[in-house]
Amino acid sequence: MAALASSLALTAAPAHADTVVVTAAHLVDPAAGRTLDDPTVVITDGRIVAVATRGQAGPAVPPNARRIDLPGKTLLPGLIDMHVHLDAEATISGYRRLDYTDSFWQAVGVGNARKMLEAGFTTVRNVGSEDYNDVGLKQAVDGGWIVGPRIVPAGYALGSTGGHCDGTEGLPPRFASVPTPSVADGPDGYRRLVRTQKKYGAEVIKICATGGVLSRRDAPGAQQMSLDEMKAVADEAHLLGMKVAAHAHGTAGIDDALRAGIDTIEHASLADAGSFKLAKEHGAWFSMDVYDDDYILAEGAKNGVHPESLEKERQIGRKQRETFRDAHRAGVKMIFGTDNGAVFPAGQNALQFAKMVEWGMTPVEAIRSATTNAAQALG
C-alpha cells in the first residue's frame, strides 16, 4: 500500500512470513470510487487478505500479528507505474552516458528500485533495459537481496536498424561494429528477438514502432516498424503468454500497432480520433507520460539532452497533453506510465497525477489508472 512504504520497514517484494495489521483514518477504494472510514487491513505473506471498515466485524487476526496504526492518515492501494526505466538516470543523458561502464547502470537500478518503492510504487513495468538489467533487478528483489517493487521486466526494447531502439544510433560506424541485440529487420527477425527476450527472463515485450524524442536523427512521428513486423511481435509474444508495449508517437505507427494487436501504446502523442476508435475496438490501453515535458524543458540542457531532442520536445510535449485530454474524453482506456528514470528522476513518479487531473481526469480516475486499470492491463 502506498501509504505504508516507509512504515513496513521496506522489506523486498517477495512473500513475508508474518501478518501485519494496519489501521488508519481512511482508505481510498479506486474501483468503487469512494473513500472508506476507519479501515483495518490485514496483510499476510505480502498480500492483502482482509479489509474491514467502520460498522463491519473486524477480520480474524493472529495473536502475534504486527500492528501499524496510522491515525489521521489515508491509505491508498500500492501504485503501479507501467512505464519506467530503472537502470537509467535522467541527470546523465545523451552522450554523457558514454562516460560510464556498462555495469554502472545496474548499480543505478538498485538505488532507483528502492526510491520507487519508497514513493509508494509497489509494482513497476520496466519497458527496456540494456544487458537484461531489469531481469537481474527482478531476480535480486524476488530473492530478497535488494529492496524494491515487484518488477515486470522487458529485457531489451526491440526496434529496427537505425531506429529509436537501436542503441548505436547517432554514433559513427566504428562504434557500431558489434551487432545490437535489440535490433531486427523483417517479421522473422522480430520473432527471434521475442523468443530471445523470453529465454532470458522477460515478462513483457517492448517495441519501438516510431521515432522518439531523445533519439537522434529521427522524427517522433515517423513509423519505424511495418505492420507485418509488429504483427509478428504481437503474435509471438501472445503465443508465449506475454503482452506487448509499443513506443509510438506518430499516428500511422500508433494505428498499425493497434491493428497488429499490441496491448499498450506508450506516449501516443499524435493519436487522433481514428486511433481512439481503433484502441477501443481492440481493447488496447494508452500509457501517456504527460508530466515529463516539464522536466525535460526545464532541466534537459543541463543534463546533457541534445539540442535536437529539446526542439523535438518543444514541438510534441503540449500536443501530447492535448491528445491525452481528447483520448480521455473519447473513452480510451488509460493507464499510468511516466517514463520515470529515463527522463526525470526516479521516485518522482507521482508528479504525473497532477498533470493527469489538469488535463481532464478526475482525481479518482488518475488513481485508478495506477491501480485497478494498471492491474488489468498487466493481466
d(CA 294, CA 223): 26
Task: Let me know if 128 is exposed, middle or buried by CB neighbors in 10 A (0-12, 13-18, 19+).
Answer: buried
170-190 mean pLDDT: 83
pLDDT tier at 9 (50, 70, 90 boundaries)? very low
Q: Which CATH architecture has domain 79-378?
A: Alpha-Beta Barrel (3.20)
**What's the pLDDT at 5?**
42
Residue 8 has pLDDT above 70, yes or no: no
Q: Nearest Cα to 42, choosing from 25, 10, 65, 9?
A: 65
The grid coordinates of residue 204 equal: 513483457
The grid coordinates of residue 299 equal: 532541466
What is the SS3 string spanning 166-178?
CCCCCCCHHHHCC
**In one letter, which amino acid is 286?**
F
pLDDT in tens, 71-105: 999 999 999 999 999 999 999 988 888 899 999 99
**What's the pLDDT at 177?**
61
**What's the pLDDT at 10?**
45
3-state class (DSSP) for residue 264: strand
Given the candidates 3.40.605.10, 3.40.50.2300, 3.40.50.300, 2.30.40.10, the CATH classification of the domain at 2-75 is 2.30.40.10
3-state class (DSSP) for residue 258: helix
d(CA 262, CA 128): 16
Q: What is the pTM of this model?
A: 0.93
Q: Nearest Cα to 344, choosing from 107, 93, 164, 124?
A: 93
pLDDT tier at 57 (50, 70, 90 boundaries)? confident
| Average predicted confidence (pLDDT) for the chain | 93
3-state class (DSSP) for residue 337: coil
Domain with CATH 2.30.40.10 in the chain: 2-75
Give the sign of the dihedral formed by CA 273, CA 277, CA 278, CA 283: positive
The CA angle 216-348-27, to the nearest 5 degrees, is 140
pLDDT in tens, 271-321: 999 999 999 999 999 999 999 999 999 999 999 999 999 999 999 999 999
- Which secondary-structure segment (H or E) carries 189? helix 187-199
Residues 262 and 246 sit within 8 Å (Cβ to Cβ) = yes
pLDDT tier at 12 (50, 70, 90 boundaries)? very low
Looking up cell 517492448 gives 206
219-231 mean pLDDT: 97
d(CA 90, CA 195): 30
Residue 62 has pLDDT above 80, yes or no: yes
Domain with CATH 3.20.20.140 in the chain: 79-378
The grid coordinates of residue 41 equal: 487491513
d(CA 67, CA 65): 6
Name the DSSP class of 49: E
pLDDT in tens, 233-275: 999 999 999 999 999 999 999 999 999 999 999 999 999 999 9
